[in-house]
Structure formats: structure tokens, C-alpha cells
């Protein structure tokens, strides 16, 4: 499929998916985007831990696919937000254009009114000038005495008087009209000035909105292209991962031997503890132990579990027991002894399969049970075999040795040769 065609498809799909947000809830969109990004990081971290035991090259292929898949909803949300902003810019542009059209129409009417008013004022002034010239030539209105003396009858007097009064009213009305028309024209001119200023401001806003709209259009197209690229990458990576199916299954099958190896080492430690079971010096007091309450995590609380204890499903099938709990821990963070005990095993990463640098801590017999704690993937050791440690002593540091692609703690708690979920113990707290 050509890129341009794919882009059109993505844009069309995004319009449908984003239609509900066309009213412009950008604050909510941003909040959702931040939440999606948090979920993305958590999902990738979980996937990283869950692939423990798989060949690291295969892990990287799978994690690249998961990273791309996690980015798709984020890219979709970014595209939706960009299209909402573009829609807002278009609405703003249309609103300003409507205001500009209205203001321009008003200005045209004002200018027509001013022209008409000037014409009417000119005519009124001409009439007033004619009256003034008549008055100057002595054709002014006669006095009442003149009308009385010149009239041959009372009827003639009243007619002459009425005509004179009408002429006077005409003069007065003409003067009033000139005054009113002058005032009206001044008001129109003032309004004309205000409307011109408004139009200039609206044109400036319109120009700015055109630039803003073009930027939003460009951003929306870029987001759409980014989404299209992610989907294309996802398809390509999915195909590449499918071709590795047999390699995944072969890598996962090696997990059982690693599990058996650890179980055998624990069994040997349990035998040593059983031999000492009757020796009071090797047993802890049973009072107030609370079923493991004397244990603490190897890293500080609160704990963030990236992969829990229990059965897990691997890519391309297969369920395997995750015998410990994976805890978020940065590279180089100090790990401590969970309780008083003896270092039973210190196994370096080379040749140690998935576990990497590994430490076994024999906690002895407590409440009649043999307890052992194992921690994997360490970057380095701070103890040696046979060393006595106190709770809280630094035994090593968090790393990513073994078949893992990121720093974390893998901690196992064994009681009488069987693993238990550390997060069920009273001394363990969690945040997630």
C-alpha cells in the first residue's frame, strides 16, 4: 500500500475515532495521553520481566514489537488531540470571518449613510442660504404692524400673517435640520472610525488564525503519518516475530532445566538444615515470627511488582512457573540480606543460564521449616560463600545479568523446598 493511500486511510479512521471529541475537550485529551504513556511504560516493564529466561536476542525482537504496539494508542490519542485543535482553529477562523463580514457590511452601510447625509445636509444648507440671501435683499418677513397697515381687510391680514408665520417656521426648521444632520454625520463618522479599527483588528486576528490553522493542519498530518508508520512497523515486526516462533519455543524449553537446577540446590541446603534441626543453636526462636514476618525484601519498600509470582504465559504458547517475584529496582541499587543467615551459594553469571549473578541465602530453620532466599540478575556481589550476614547487610547490587533486558530484582522465597509468594509475607508491602 502506498504511503499516501495509507495516510488517507489513517486520517479517515482517526476522524471517525476522534469524532466524539470534536467539541474540543483538550484538557481531558492531554490527561488521557499522559495516562496512556504511563500505562505504556508499565506494560513494557511488565513484558520485559515476563520474558525472563528467553534468549535476549528474541526478547529484544518481542520487546520492539510490544513497544510499537504500546505507542499506537498514544499516537492515536495525539492525532485525536491534534485534530481537535485543528477543528478549534477552524471554528475560530470561521467565527472571526463572520465577524469581519458583519463589520464590513456595517461599515458599508455607515459610509452610504454618510454620503446620503452629506447630500441632505448640502441641500438643507442650500435652502438656508437661499433664505439668507432673500433676507439680505430685503425680502425678509414683514412685521405684524406692516401686515396690519397694508391689509385691505381682516381676511387679507390673516392670510398674510399666516404666510409670514409659515416662512418663519421654515427658517427655524431649516436651522434645526442643519444642526441635527451635522450631529448625525459626526456620530456616523465616529462609528465609522470605530468599525474601521475593529475591522483592522479582526483582519489581524484572521491572519494569525490562518497561520495557526496551517500549523495545526501540518501537525495533524505529521501525527497521522507517525501513526501510519507505527502501524506499518507493527505489521513488519509481527511478521518477523512469527518467523522466530520455533526459536522462542526452543529457548523457553530450556527454562525447565534452570528451574530443576535451582530446586536441586535448595534441596541440598534443606538437607543441611535438617541435619542441624535438632541443634538448638541452629534454630531461631519461634515466638512472634508470624509466618515469615521476620523477613524483609532485598530492596526498600514500597515495592513495585513488575511481574508477580505464579504461572506465566510466554509468546507463542507455553506456561511456566515464575518461582519468584520481580521488583522494580534501578541498576546499582544495593540489595540487602532479608534476615540473619549464611551465604550458601554465590554463582557468577557465565554458565548460569537465565539467572545471571545469583546469591542463595540460607536462613536456617524457623518455626520448624527450612527457609532459603534467592536473588538473581545482580550486577555484582558483596558476599562470599559461608559468610554470616545480618538482616540489612548489603549482599550485592541490582543488575541485568542473565537472560533479561532490564535491571530489576528477581527474589525467591523457599520454605521446605517449595517456593511461596513473597508478597504474601507480612514484611512485604507493595504500591501496585
For the cut 50, the answer to whether the pLDDT of residue 190 exceeds it is yes
For the cut 70, the answer to whether the pLDDT of residue 318 exceeds it is yes
What is the domain range of residue 84?
1-251
What CA–CA distance (Å, rounded) separates 300 from 249?
36
Name the burial class of residue 52, with classes exposed (0-12), middle (13-18) and buried (19+) by CB atoms within 10 angstroms of its CB: buried
Number of domains in the chain: 2
374 and 282, same domain (yes or no): yes
Percentage with pLDDT > 70 across the chain:
72
Final residue before a domain boundary, out of 211, 232, 251 = 251
The verdict on residue 394 lying in a domain is yes
Q: Which residues contact 12 (CB under 8 A, 6 or more apart)?
A: none
The verdict on residue 431 lying in a domain is no
Q: What is the CATH number of the domain that holds 366?
A: 2.70.70.10
Q: How many helices (H) and strands (E) does the chain have?
A: 7, 12
pLDDT of residue 26: 54
43 and 179, same domain (yes or no): yes
pLDDT of residue 256: 78
pLDDT of residue 395: 98
208 and 261, same domain (yes or no): no
Helix (H) or strand (E) segment spanning residue 293:
none
What CA–CA distance (Å, rounded) separates 278 from 366?
12
Q: What is the CATH number of the domain that holds 135?
A: 1.10.287
* pTM passes above 0.95: no
The verdict on residue 430 lying in a domain is no
Phi first, then psi, for residue 366 (nearest 5°) are: -130, 130
Judge contact between 404 and 349, C-beta under 8 A.
no
The verdict on residue 390 lying in a domain is yes
Amino acid at each position: 500500500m502506498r504511503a499516501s493511500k495509507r495516510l488517507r486511510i489513517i486520517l479517515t479512521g482517526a476522524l471517525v475515532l476522534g469524532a466524539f471529541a470534536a467539541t474540543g475537550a483538550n484538557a481531558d485529551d492531554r490527561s488521557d495521553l499522559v495516562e496512556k504513556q504511563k500505562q505504556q511504560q508499565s506494560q513494557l516493564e511488565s513484558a520485559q520481566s515476563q520474558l525472563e529466561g528467553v534468549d535476549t536476542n528474541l526478547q529484544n525482537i518481542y520487546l520492539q514489537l510490544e513497544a510499537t504496539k504500546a505507542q499506537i494508542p498514544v499516537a492515536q490519542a495525539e492525532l485525536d488531540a491534534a485534530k481537535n485543535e485543528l477543528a478549534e482553529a477552524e471554528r475560530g477562523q470561521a467565527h472571526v470571518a463572520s465577524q469581519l463580514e458583519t463589520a464590513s457590511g456595517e461599515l458599508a452601510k455607515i459610509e452610504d449613510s454618510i454620503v446620503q447625509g452629506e447630500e441632505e445636509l448640502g441641500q438643507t444648507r442650500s435652502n438656508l442660504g437661499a433664505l439668507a440671501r432673500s433676507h439680505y435683499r430685503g425680502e425678509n418677513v414683514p412685521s405684524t404692524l406692516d401686515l396690519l397697515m397694508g391689509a385691505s381687510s381682516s381676511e387679507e391680514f390673516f392670510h398674510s400673517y399666516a404666510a409670514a408665520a409659515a416662512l418663519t417656521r421654515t427658517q427655524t426648521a431649516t436651522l434645526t435640520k442643519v444642526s441635527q444632520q451635522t450631529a448625525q454625520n459626526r456620530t456616523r463618522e465616529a462609528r465609522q472610525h470605530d468599525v474601521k479599527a475593529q475591522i483592522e483588528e479582526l483582519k489581524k486576528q484572521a491572519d494569525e488564525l490562518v497561520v495557526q490553522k496551517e500549523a495545526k493542519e501540518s501537525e495533524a498530518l505529521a501525527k497521522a503519518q507517525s501513526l501510519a508508520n507505527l502501524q506499518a512497523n507493527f505489521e513488519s515486526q509481527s511478521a518477523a516475530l512469527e518467523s522466530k516462533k520455533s526459536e522462542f519455543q526452543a529457548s523457553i524449553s530450556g527454562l525447565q532445566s534452570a528451574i530443576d537446577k535451582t530446586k536441586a540446590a535448595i534441596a541440598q541446603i534443606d538437607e543441611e538444615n535438617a541435619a542441624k534441626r535438632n541443634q538448638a543453636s541452629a534454630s531461631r526462636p519461634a515466638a512472634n515470627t508470624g509466618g515469615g514476618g521476620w523477613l524483609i525484601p532485598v530492596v526498600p519498600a514500597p515495592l513495585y511488582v513488575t511481574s508477580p509470582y505464579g504461572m506465566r504465559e510466554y509468546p507463542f504458547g507455553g506456561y511456566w512457573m515464575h518461582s519468584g517475584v520481580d521488583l522494580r529496582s534501578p541498576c546499582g541499587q544495593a540489595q540487602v540480606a532479608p534476615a540473619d543467615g549464611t551465604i550458601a551459594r554465590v554463582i557468577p553469571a557465565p554458565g548460569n543460564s537465565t539467572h545471571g549473578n545469583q546469591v542463595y541465602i540460607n536462613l536456617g530453620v524457623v518455626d520448624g521449616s527450612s527457609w532459603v532466599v534467592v536473588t538473581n540478575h545482580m550486577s555484582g556481589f558483596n558476599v562470599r560463600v559461608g559468610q554470616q550476614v545480618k538482616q540489612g547487610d548489603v549482599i550485592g547490587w541490582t543488575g541485568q545479568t542473565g537472560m533479561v533486558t532490564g535491571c530489576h530484582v528477581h527474589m525467591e522465597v523457599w520454605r521446605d523446598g517449595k517456593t511461596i509468594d513473597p508478597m504474601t509475607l507480612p514484611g512485604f508491602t507493595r504500591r501496585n
